Structure 1
């Protein structure tokens, strides 16, 4: 084989190394050959797409669900023989570099994402065809970020209004002759990647059991194909608070840090969406654990979000 190496490289346009709608992506295709090589066609493509795939068992039948959406597709022909098949184009011996440039459409597109049964990818692909039996291919994905500051705004304008507002909820559970009341307050509904959020739990334990609050980040991935819908959920444990003995009350405040690599909330893809909840449960021995879920929007953080120091003091209004 005369083609020893084929690769695609691109130039970064910012410190994140990401691209957004309207950006120019430029780079080069590198080919290394052991001697002069005849080619039929040599091209590079840029593509953005979303795809979902999953299986369901319906009785004795396995049903396959899938869907795809193409956001853009561009093709640049580097070399192609004039007679489309006689191999008249030549690549010189050694290392050869071919530049390319594409402009990403300035339209609303979701950020790169990979979930349980679907993914959103943006890629560059090069293909070198020597003959119908000898085709060389290579591919590289590049990270893409939506321009929308709120990629969930179309879901509800009220979400944006409530991003900085406190969220509160109450749950009362009965155990035998006693009851446990749990009041949960989160500092706000919107938090950036890598930031911290304060959560306060007031527990009035009038039962004979010791209860312990636990804190979770609940992730919900939704996928849609051919009018069918499937959901994948995942609970990430943040940690536990101090136990509340029987016949006592206590307020526990905890600062929860959102991991910087957590994908932001989004709704701007017709085939999938990503949502979060903040869940607080009370671990009750030999009983069903009561829980409270509060809405949580994770926003895109800054490039240095992981260097931010966690907040040390959180103030809450007094719970009723």
Structure 2
């Protein structure tokens, strides 16, 4: 029977969440009890970070396995030196060895466990004796990366648009513009999404909103992708030859894993898909990339408002830019009533009649209930004098917008 009892490992938390990040220091204690005096060859504690991927495809003779490994760091501290000639003699009784380990600086991914891979940060203590099995204990460290590549981008509302001509069994056209109020968010946050649909076709359409998680594993030049639908909201049917604005609140699940982009062999992305369900037709859609980060990082990024004149963060859709500007033009330079002279390249001309733009539809219509808008102070006028609108002075030329949707319905 081993004379070593209750061989254990404890460490001190740095915050309420119990997480660690690059550059943090782990402090703790190795504790055990001895029922008699023993000679110890070595005692050490170490912390390391590793990513592993493995999956199998095919069966029988065609079966093939894929695997990959990445080591991010390993830090070890000897509390009893290894290979001591005589070893260290420890007396009977309770023993406590304190330690301090510093996690290196650098860009390392957060902890993760998935279907075909994991990213693990492990704290381990091990005591070795000659001609005896070593005593060992391990504990997982919840590691949260401070380095999220996407955070270098400005956080702002995102917008996108799509237009679809009906097929041979129907006629007319469907247009949709969508806005989501942020790009960077945290688990538990609620997104405000608004879509304006102009159904000039002979078919009924139904707006749908879907939050999806996409995980990609990479090994030996191959990939294994898994997708998960986290949330789906279905709107009311919009009849033919009608126009409606639809809004909804999409909550990020509280247990969502943070976005993962700084690991070569595992990545996690989130998408918000806004699409129109049309029977017997390809669904037009707009897809927005979302970055889910710890609350401490999300709150450090501006959630709006955004600079006047900005179009907002782009969507990750294969569709054209929005039908409308995000803010009214900023008064600058000479022009009637202080408005700037029109830029001849500001609007593309290609023969498409964009009714939403000509009606002066703007993001203010979308987000007036979601968040306050920041505008530019209006120019001053004589008492009783009313300035003309910019759109009346310089109406936009027609614009062509088209896109294709996915054949997959969810």
Q: 1:152 aligns with which of 150, 153, 160?
A: 150
Pair 1:97–1:182, CA change in 2 (3 A): same
Q: 1:218 aligns with which of 212, 217, 228?
A: 212
Match of 1:168 in 2: 160
Which protein has greater RCO, CA pairs closer than 8 Å, 6+ apart? 1
Pair 1:129–1:58, CA change in 2 (3 A): same
Does the CA-based 8 Å contact 2:121-2:141 persist in structure 1? yes
Match of 2:255 in 1: 261
Give unmatched runs, 5+ long, in structure 1: 306-310
TM-score if structure 1 supplies the norm length?
Answer: 0.81
Match of 1:308 in 2: none
Distance in 1 (CA, whole Å) between partners of 2:142 and 2:290 is 24
Does the CA-based 8 Å contact 1:167-1:189 persist in structure 2? no
SS at 1:302 equivalent: helix
Match of 2:271 in 1: 277
1:312 Cα offset (Å): 11
Does residue 1:177 correspond to 2:170, yes or no?
yes
SS at 1:102 equivalent: strand
Q: Which segment drifts farther, 217-226 or 242-251? A: 242-251
Match of 1:76 in 2: 77
Distance in 1 (CA, whole Å) between partners of 2:26 and 2:116 is 29
Name the larger-Rg structure. 2
Distance in 2 (CA, whole Å) between partners of 1:193 and 1:223 is 23
1:132 Cα offset (Å): 4.6
CA RMSD after TM alignment: 3.2
- Give the number of equivalent residue pairs: 304
Match of 1:31 in 2: 32
Distance in 2 (CA, whole Å) between partners of 1:81 and 1:200 is 64
Cα deviation code 1:6-63 (max 9, x no counterpart):
2211111233322222221110112134443443332211112222222222883222
1:270 Cα offset (Å): 2.1
Does the CA-based 8 Å contact 2:117-2:266 persist in structure 1? yes
Cα deviation code 1:89-146 (max 9, x no counterpart):
3444343221111111122222222233222221111122345552222111112222
Match of 1:121 in 2: 120
1:221 Cα offset (Å): 1.7
Pair 1:32–1:168, CA change in 2 (3 A): same
SS at 2:110 equivalent: coil
SS at 1:14 equivalent: coil
1:283 Cα offset (Å): 3.7
1:259 Cα offset (Å): 2.6
Match of 1:199 in 2: 193
Higher helix share: 2
Give unmatched runs, 5+ long, in structure 2: 300-366, 374-398, 400-410
Pair 1:7–1:211, CA change in 2 (3 A): farther
| Mapping of residues 15-164 of structure 1, within 5 Å | 15-57=16-58, 60-79=61-80, 88-148=87-147, 150-152=148-150, 160-161=153-154, 163-164=155-156
Q: Which segment drifts farther, 276-285 or 118-127? A: 276-285
Does residue 1:314 correspond to 2:307, yes or no?
no
Does the CA-based 8 Å contact 2:157-2:179 persist in structure 1? no
Cα deviation code 1:63-84 (max 9, x no counterpart):
2222222221122223357556
Higher strand share: 1
Cα deviation code 1:119-178 (max 9, x no counterpart):
222111112234555222211111222232x4236xxx6xx14x3143212142636214
